[in-house]
Structure 1
């Protein structure tokens, strides 16, 4: 039997729904720790660093990957008890849609900025997301106790970004707890309470979901109108599936069952949903007993932006890999996969990811949690290819590319990239962006020490090594944020790599025509050093269509067949050499070249030697 936790009957103005938004590593999770500690939500023995980040990967990397809601009961002035619903959001650009849905579930946001680093790209992006959702923004400068803190400079940047007054900015140190009482008071006084109409048709926003092995997929919701109770039947607008609700509840570090969720509440719903793909982040839930006619605004299907092949090192582990990906997808509905076959790598899966960080996280979780040994192919983006008959093809891997002679036009995805950097690195960054085929849009000075550069860049140029080079040329000071803006025509070609005159599909590339010769040359040189020598000569070629644009040879290992001829007629030696020559020719026709795993990573390492 479920034991219900009875919450005090709060008045309308005693609920505050808010989230914390910040650039990566500005102290978001640490600030959440201090809020929980100061309000007594968790006892001292329960506390640990990054308490809301429950995955090992989140702790090791110091980033938040999934949203983590928690309810804080705060007694202000020892009189009135306020219910503060905190939603801790991801900080990386790959998860910007999930951040936008978390923002839509709130009335206010704490905009957190590191005192030593100032406003960065994700800070600006998150601020615009908060403004689009019409949230009350509380600007907070964190880490003011650091020796390198530049509080006055960061204040000017925040004033310029948000239009606030300097007095509105709260100075905190999440490490020491400085400024936490003032911050809690600002949450109560500056963030408006939710509008609460219990009699309207029920509508709740899904801002996240998790999978429980015993209770199925569990949506995390913010109820905007009406009531949701156990025993009712819930329906989602995007999937149209209907489920019977068995439990509702709220978050007090753990999930605590309650009798109902009412307008203004943040909580969870258990309805024995077997598949997490039936829950879409941003979708609206209603009940058949009090059904709403229209969903809440803002929902859109999450589409993969980066595609890569995942193959087991040992082909016998294919079935085990399939089961591992299925289990991982139960907790990550944004992961897409389908079976794929490669002549070089055997059976595997073509997977779609939200971005390169998402790819790294999935790969690392498969290796750690499911003990998989993987080969990951070159990441690709999705191209739109139109042939001469006007047919449109969606191409997410070079093997699906039609013959170059049949293609009329190829379009590739573009992003609007926002780079924030100190002014002294503008020249280096402009050189880098030109190499990456970027189109300059605008420059804006946030203050004398921070410049915002706006570019339009092909997504395929971003996903390889752009971020690493950005940090290199700016000595780590520049920050990057980007958003998808659509498709544009480009002069792209498919470049095949032939080893011993056989194309290796896992090494094929879709590349810009102007860069094809240079990249093809470097790739075959790299492969020559990675492919071991055989008893016959191995040619490595880069080709566009039928035209070879670069070639290298791996020289043959030669056995000294004349060693036993210690004298006699020269014709005996010639005869043995001719026989060896014929044998090598025959071996070249039937012999197979062993391509090591390192060769499939060669494309990713091309940028390292520039």
Structure 2
């Protein structure tokens, strides 16, 4: 099983847009090579989390080792890494691609090239991958393989003469895919079994029985049980107590040699010790230079997570710690809020990532949470020449000390059928977008826009999908920070600022956003015995206001007949009392109101 010659190993990943059939193709390859018995097979086998199976998306990259006897009679070992297609998990994709030499590009034969197809293919090309094109869903009545091949050549510039046509659902053409992997994808370049161990840490996850399981790609040397190893980046030392390969199940092996992808455990308690992209070597006989590694994941969106019941804070702390073990791209720090109590400020790679983490916390740990409005990282240039980062609008320093505020901008690529182009351009203009390119890919328009991330974070993706009836696809990458005319809008209830509702907005959109929030709060805060003003303000200037009228007791009920001045006297007395009450009265904002207001965006 081990000691496979380098020329008979193929390491490859599957890249595609969301829903083009990556996970189904992986299932068929596992079935075709007889890696698992029929009784163990299930759909989307490599999507191990419940949430992945329900939503039908891949969140974590997963790996499996296949053994295949080719038509030339030789035995090959194929290491497949199934990657996510969604833009929020591009970090998972980049790590997986670095461990492989080739990729299968899966394109839906009816839908063609989408925005995320482009993004993932360019990542594969950046990693010097050989690429085999696979046209999936060839059995659909709407499939047009010839047109899609032309489109791939036109847009991506790949030669599609050898493209494999398959249907992953029915299993049509799967043997051709295996042959194409063996014939067209390269074997690992070099690898010296006698050299000191040099391995790349691709991923790690937490297993309740084994501790941290580490996925590695061996470059030189070999890894075996009982070996003392060292992580060169963190300088942590461990004793290897188990070496294995994933055939989705963990199967122990004697050793792992050059070019192979496998896993090991070593009583590691914290996934934090296993930095993705680190180089693993022998403790006594280290290799000379480290591998280049990966850039650490940069959180893009921040939001506060608070338990609805303050007693759950400790449970939330341990739950977040456990999730961090499984997901290296998620970061958090503690914060407090006058309105919501103790909680955490968390950083995510995007909104879907945020949603998934929230859902995992409520599902796997039974926690009920409130999330504050998502915000992005701003850079503050202060008058004293320093520069600071701001994650939470409530922490904004005094305006007099700020020289300028910079906000992150993204480069967004949108692919859309022609008939929706007008409304999509309008949406981008509304969000302060700057159009940089517009071209045609067959019948579809490819628009490239520079957009401020702050405007995309809330509900841009949902709006885009509803405008285009789900046909437009969207991909983005962070471009740069640019100076913007940004102001902090705070919300005051009964002249008291509510810190959980303050946000940074562009001056031009402040009034509209403020008005919407005030109207929403007016509906949600119950009436009191006194009048309550709700205001949105920038600094000392009120830009929007709503008033909740007071409940009124009929104090003149006992007056019947007599002079009007008797009634007047009682009403004035009531008025005085209400005035006094408003001075000392506290407005309780119900928890539901927070949840509702934080959901309202645009």
On the 8 A contact 1:423/1:451 being kept in 2, the answer is yes
Q: Out of 177, 182, 206, which is 1:183 matched to?
A: 177
Measure, in 2, the Cα distance between the counterparts of 1:293 and 1:499.
63
Matches within 5 A, 1:11-90: 11-77=5-71, 79-90=73-84
Q: Which residue of 2 aligns with 1:575?
A: 569
Is 1:378 the counterpart of 2:357? The answer is no
Q: Which residue of 2 aligns with 1:282?
A: 277
Q: Out of 86, 89, 99, which is 2:93 matched to?
A: 99
Measure, in 1, the Cα distance between the counterparts of 2:228 and 2:440.
53
Measure, in 2, the Cα distance between the counterparts of 1:545 and 1:395.
18
Measure, in 2, the Cα distance between the counterparts of 1:238 and 1:490.
38
Matches within 5 A, 1:493-572: 493-572=487-566
Measure, in 1, the Cα distance between the counterparts of 2:363 and 2:160.
47
**Residues 388-446 of structure 1 deviation map (CA, whole Å, 9 limit, x = unaligned):** 11121210011111122221010111111111112232222211111111122222322
On the 8 A contact 1:202/1:226 being kept in 2, the answer is yes
Q: Which residue of 1 aligns with 2:326?
A: 331
SS of 1:595 mapped into structure 2? coil
Q: Which residue of 1 aligns with 2:419?
A: 424
Runs of 5+ unmatched residues, structure 2:
none
On the 8 A contact 1:378/1:601 being kept in 2, the answer is no
Offset of residue 229 of structure 1 = 1.9
Measure, in 2, the Cα distance between the counterparts of 1:145 and 1:421.
24
Q: Which residue of 1 aligns with 2:130?
A: 136
Is 1:110 the counterpart of 2:104? The answer is yes
Is 1:361 the counterpart of 2:339? The answer is no
Measure, in 2, the Cα distance between the counterparts of 1:49 and 1:283.
33
Q: Which residue of 1 aligns with 2:436?
A: 441
Matches within 5 A, 1:242-253: 242-253=237-248
Measure, in 2, the Cα distance between the counterparts of 1:116 and 1:598.
45
Offset of residue 570 of structure 1 = 3.2
Measure, in 1, the Cα distance between the counterparts of 2:5 and 2:519.
71
Offset of residue 74 of structure 1 = 1.2
Q: Which residue of 1 aligns with 2:287?
A: 292
Aligned pairs, how many? 601
Offset of residue 344 of structure 1 = 0.8
TM-score normalised to structure 1 length: 0.95
Q: Which residue of 1 aligns with 2:222?
A: 227
**Residues 486-506 of structure 1 deviation map (CA, whole Å, 9 limit, x = unaligned):** 211111110000011000011
On the 8 A contact 1:464/1:604 being kept in 2, the answer is no
Q: Out of 275, 300, 318, which is 2:313 matched to?
A: 318
Offset of residue 602 of structure 1 = 4.9
Offset of residue 244 of structure 1 = 1.9
Q: Which residue of 1 aligns with 2:301?
A: 306
310-319 or 8-17: bigger deviation: 8-17
Measure, in 1, the Cα distance between the counterparts of 2:225 and 2:42.
34
Measure, in 2, the Cα distance between the counterparts of 1:372 and 1:85.
38
Measure, in 2, the Cα distance between the counterparts of 1:424 and 1:201.
60
On the 8 A contact 2:118/2:156 being kept in 1, the answer is no
Q: 1:313 to 1:601 in 2, by over 3 A?
A: closer
Measure, in 2, the Cα distance between the counterparts of 1:303 and 1:599.
32
Measure, in 1, the Cα distance between the counterparts of 2:99 and 2:367.
37
Offset of residue 124 of structure 1 = 0.2
On the 8 A contact 2:3/2:257 being kept in 1, the answer is no
Measure, in 1, the Cα distance between the counterparts of 2:68 and 2:430.
53
Measure, in 1, the Cα distance between the counterparts of 2:150 and 2:23.
25
Measure, in 1, the Cα distance between the counterparts of 2:195 and 2:560.
103
On the 8 A contact 2:301/2:347 being kept in 1, the answer is yes
SS of 2:376 mapped into structure 1? coil
Measure, in 1, the Cα distance between the counterparts of 2:261 and 2:160.
32
Is 1:591 the counterpart of 2:585? The answer is yes
Is 1:407 the counterpart of 2:402? The answer is yes
Measure, in 1, the Cα distance between the counterparts of 2:213 and 2:287.
21
148-157 or 543-552: bigger deviation: 148-157
Measure, in 2, the Cα distance between the counterparts of 1:115 and 1:563.
78
530-539 or 569-578: bigger deviation: 569-578
**Residues 64-113 of structure 1 deviation map (CA, whole Å, 9 limit, x = unaligned):** 11111011111223832211111111111112122111001011101011
Measure, in 1, the Cα distance between the counterparts of 2:457 and 2:384.
32
Measure, in 2, the Cα distance between the counterparts of 1:406 and 1:390.
10
Offset of residue 567 of structure 1 = 3.6
Measure, in 2, the Cα distance between the counterparts of 1:327 and 1:557.
49
Q: Out of 332, 345, 348, which is 1:350 matched to?
A: 345
Measure, in 2, the Cα distance between the counterparts of 1:294 and 1:417.
37
Measure, in 2, the Cα distance between the counterparts of 1:171 and 1:204.
36
Is 1:204 the counterpart of 2:199? The answer is yes
Offset of residue 274 of structure 1 = 1.2
562-571 or 387-396: bigger deviation: 562-571
Offset of residue 533 of structure 1 = 1.2
SS of 2:361 mapped into structure 1? helix
Runs of 5+ unmatched residues, structure 1:
1-6
Measure, in 1, the Cα distance between the counterparts of 2:2 and 2:408.
51
Measure, in 2, the Cα distance between the counterparts of 1:569 and 1:315.
56
SS of 1:168 mapped into structure 2? coil
Offset of residue 174 of structure 1 = 0.7
TM-score normalised to structure 2 length: 0.97
Offset of residue 335 of structure 1 = 1.9
Measure, in 1, the Cα distance between the counterparts of 2:439 and 2:145.
21
Q: 1:601 to 1:148 in 2, by over 3 A?
A: farther
Q: Which residue of 2 aligns with 1:3?
A: none
395-404 or 580-589: bigger deviation: 580-589
Measure, in 2, the Cα distance between the counterparts of 1:305 and 1:535.
44
On the 8 A contact 2:225/2:254 being kept in 1, the answer is yes
SS of 1:330 mapped into structure 2? helix
484-493 or 178-187: bigger deviation: 484-493
